[in-house]
């Protein structure tokens, strides 16, 4: 847009040239040649709904939004962008939390919303072949009559699309036991920026050649446009039961998590909430949580009748031995759903007690849960901002919610800085700056903390192998070395260089 100066845009440290109004008009005209009227938006009011994804702190308008109906249209439009050197950002349902689908101001936003058909669902082969715009939950709904479901269940599963799940390698409550998106996808069909259609993976356990299927997972739209996804379906467990354990302090709860996993239990879900989160959720949905507890654990066990019955007893004893002050097993399916309703409503519930909140996503080795929760509390006091914790304890995936008021000048910046500090604390204990929300634009600076220059250079090499001109979703996920140098963090890598005294050649 005319009001955009790339040289000053903090999101794009290595800006591309700004395109002229003439170039923009010529681009729209060319796209208009290959797309039906309803598949090309370019008036400002039509572009507004696409200015951000779930990370609403950053907003940019693209030059145009295209909504192709089929592969031929997508390919033709992509060809036009490529010829003219126009960046393309793909967008699924726009529920991403790290700004991965934030439009590039001098680029085109490619929405896959119309790629929304389930092409094949075979209960015998336990697979579904779907278009990328199909909603996550819609797959499980279609599979339900056959007693099957699609396992990864991000909180946004009602709305988020499977293509976006692949791009972000989404997790969910059940990923400790059932894995991330990459563990549940058999094949992906994608369009390269050159317009080639690639089939990655297949129905066999392994595929020869380099594992491009895994590579595309979590690549945040930087390597290609996903046009079809084949997912694995699982049989619904015969029985599920949930236990809720209350603790006097969060550290003890953290240690109980390590104890459960150490005893060889792999729960279907293992979630933790601290007192702020418990109170907010209880006020909102009346889940029956103990509001005086410093922390609760929700532990879901699923499997056959025999297996679940045996494990419920074992887990109950383990939790009590670990110092739980109270352990309750859901009396019936209704109570089980209520226990989960509280957890699932925790984010909006926190939204009720604070004008704004900033949801973080970092992962740490489970054994450091106690230490990191302590560190977060300390940072919270230092910044004078409350932090509620609701998270996937089983896989050490933290979701600290930083409470702030965007109307108080400086609070957003303070919240962002606190968030950055929390992520760096995660890296310090051997964790990572993202569990399941991706890097996008939100955590691009922390990538400089997580990786060494050699590793970032290798990432850029891989990117260039797919997209040599850098047209796919520029400015996201992998920072340039220049950016890291500016961020001043290249010297830090897990405390030290791994082999500082080795000869270099």
Considering the complex, state which of residue 228 and residue 282 has its C-beta at the smaller distance from a second copy: 228
- Please write down the HEC assignment for all residues of 391-453: EEHHHCEECEEEEECCCCCCHHHHHHHHHHHHHHHHHHCCCECCCCCCCCCCCCCCHHHHCCH
Should residue 254 be labelled a site residue for a second copy when binding is judged by CB under 8 A? no
Determine the Cα–Cα distance for residues 177 and 269; give it in Å rounded to an integer. Answer: 7
Select from 253, 297, 345, 364 the one that contacts a second copy (CB under 8 A).
Answer: 364
Should residue 84 be labelled a site residue for a second copy when binding is judged by CB under 8 A? no
Residues 216-235 that bind a second copy (CB under 8 A): 217-219, 222-223, 235
Should residue 454 be labelled a site residue for a second copy when binding is judged by CB under 8 A? yes
Integer angstrom CA distances of residue 327 from 243, 296, 302: 7, 10, 18
Would you give the distance in Å from CA 95 to the centre of its chain?
9
Should residue 369 be labelled a site residue for a second copy when binding is judged by CB under 8 A? no
* Sheet (strand 64-66) strand order: 40-41, 64-66, 108-111, 88-91
- Nearest-CA neighbor of 225 among 97, 70, 84? 70
Should residue 209 be labelled a site residue for a second copy when binding is judged by CB under 8 A? yes
Count the site residues for a second copy by CB under 8 A.
Answer: 93
Closest separation between CB of residue 65 and a second copy, Å? 21
What is the chain's percent helix, strand, coil content, to nearest 5?
40, 20, 40
Residues 456-475 that bind a second copy (CB under 8 A): 456-459, 461-466
- Nearest-CA neighbor of 70 among 35, 32, 44? 35
Determine the Cα–Cα distance for residues 144 and 129; give it in Å rounded to an integer. Answer: 15
Considering the complex, state which of residue 342 and residue 440 has its C-beta at the smaller distance from a second copy: 440
Closest separation between CB of residue 407 and a second copy, Å? 32
Select from 4, 183, 316, 414 the one that contacts a second copy (CB under 8 A).
Answer: 183
β pairing state of 387-392 and 269-274: antiparallel
Should residue 438 be labelled a site residue for a second copy when binding is judged by CB under 8 A? yes
Residues 107-126 that bind a second copy (CB under 8 A): 124-125
Determine the Cα–Cα distance for residues 71 and 354; give it in Å rounded to an integer. Answer: 44
Considering the complex, state which of residue 4 and residue 146 has its C-beta at the smaller distance from a second copy: 146
Should residue 202 be labelled a site residue for a second copy when binding is judged by CB under 8 A? yes
Stretch that binds a second copy, among 7-15, 17-25, 256-264, 379-387 (CB under 8 A): 256-264
User: Tokens 């297949």 correspond to what residue?
Assistant: 202
Considering the complex, state which of residue 285 and residue 449 has its C-beta at the smaller distance from a second copy: 449
Residues 141-180 that bind a second copy (CB under 8 A): 169, 171, 175-176, 180
Considering the complex, state which of residue 291 and residue 464 has its C-beta at the smaller distance from a second copy: 464
User: What are the φ and ψ backbone dihedral angles of 198, each rounded to 5 degrees?
Assistant: -110, 145
Helix 333-344 vs helix 346-353: crossing angle, to nearest 10: 50
Determine the Cα–Cα distance for residues 52 and 61; give it in Å rounded to an integer. Answer: 8
Residues 291-310 that bind a second copy (CB under 8 A): 303-304, 306-307, 309-310
Stretch that binds a second copy, among 58-66, 110-118, 191-199, 325-333 (CB under 8 A): 191-199
- Residue 415 has which token pair? 């919240």
Should residue 26 be labelled a site residue for a second copy when binding is judged by CB under 8 A? no
User: Tokens 């796209």 correspond to what residue?
Assistant: 31
Should residue 215 be labelled a site residue for a second copy when binding is judged by CB under 8 A? yes
Residues 479-498 that bind a second copy (CB under 8 A): 498
Select from 11, 32, 59, 75 the one that contacts a second copy (CB under 8 A).
Answer: 75
Stretch that binds a second copy, among 20-28, 199-207, 281-289, 291-299 (CB under 8 A): 199-207
Closest separation between CB of residue 427 and a second copy, Å? 10
Should residue 365 be labelled a site residue for a second copy when binding is judged by CB under 8 A? yes
Select from 208, 409, 410, 495 the one that contacts a second copy (CB under 8 A).
Answer: 208
- Nearest-CA neighbor of 170 among 186, 151, 187? 151
């Amino acid at each position: 847009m005319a009001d955009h100066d790339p040289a000053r845009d903090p999101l794009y440290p290595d800006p591309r040239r700004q395109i002229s109004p003439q170039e923009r008009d010529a681009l729209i005209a060319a796209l208009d040649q290959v797309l039906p009227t309803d598949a090309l938006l370019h008036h400002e009011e039509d572009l507004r709904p696409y200015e951000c994804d779930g990370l609403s702190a950053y907003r940019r308008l693209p030059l145009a939004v295209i909504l192709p109906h089929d592969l031929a249209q997508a390919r033709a439009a992509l060809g036009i962008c490529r010829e003219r050197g126009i960046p393309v950002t793909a967008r699924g349902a726009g529920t991403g939390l790290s700004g991965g689908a934030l439009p590039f101001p001098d680029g085109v936003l490619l929405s896959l919303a119309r790629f929304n058909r389930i092409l094949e669902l075979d209960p015998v082969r336990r697979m579904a072949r779907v278009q990328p715009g199909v909603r996550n939950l819609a797959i499980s709904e279609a599979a339900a009559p056959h007693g099957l479901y699609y396992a990864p269940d991000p909180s946004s599963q009602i709305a988020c699309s499977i293509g976006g799940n692949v791009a972000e390698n989404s997790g969910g409550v059940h990923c400790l036991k059932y894995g991330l998106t990459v563990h549940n996808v058999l094949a992906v069909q994608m369009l390269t920026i050159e317009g080639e259609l690639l089939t990655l993976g297949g129905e066999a356990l392994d595929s020869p050649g380099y594992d491009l299927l895994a590579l595309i997972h979590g690549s945040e739209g930087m390597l290609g446009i996903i046009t079809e996804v084949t997912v694995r379906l699982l049989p619904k467990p015969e029985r599920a039961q949930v236990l809720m354990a209350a603790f006097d302090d969060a550290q003890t709860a953290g240690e109980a998590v390590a104890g459960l996993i150490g005893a060889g239990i792999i729960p279907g879900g293992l979630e933790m909430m601290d007192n702020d989160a418990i109170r907010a959720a209880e006020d909102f949905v009346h889940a029956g949580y103990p509001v005086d507890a410093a922390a609760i654990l929700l532990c879901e066990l699923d499997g056959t009748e025999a297996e679940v019955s045996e494990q419920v007893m074992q887990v109950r004893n383990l939790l009590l031995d670990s110092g739980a002050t109270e352990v309750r097993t859901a009396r019936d399916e209704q109570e089980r759903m209520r226990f989960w309703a509280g957890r699932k409503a925790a984010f909006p519930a926190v939204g009720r007690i604070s004008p704004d909140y900033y949801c973080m996503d970092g992962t740490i080795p489970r054994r450091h849960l106690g230490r990191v929760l302590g560190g977060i509390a300390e940072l919270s006091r230092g910044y004078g901002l409350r932090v509620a914790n609701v998270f996937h304890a089983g896989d050490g995936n933290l979701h600290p919610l930083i409470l702030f008021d965007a109307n108080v000048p400086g609070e957003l910046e303070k919240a962002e800085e606190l968030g950055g500090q929390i992520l760096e604390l995660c890296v310090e204990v051997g964790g990572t700056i993202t569990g399941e929300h991706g890097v996008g634009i939100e955590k691009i600076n922390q990538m400089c903390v997580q990786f060494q220059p050699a590793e970032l250079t290798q990432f850029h090499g891989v990117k260039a192998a797919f997209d040599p001109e850098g047209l796919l979703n520029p400015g996201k996920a992998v920072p340039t070395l220049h950016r890291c140098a500016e961020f001043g963090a290249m010297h830090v890598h897990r405390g030290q260089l791994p082999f500082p005294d080795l000869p270099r050649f």
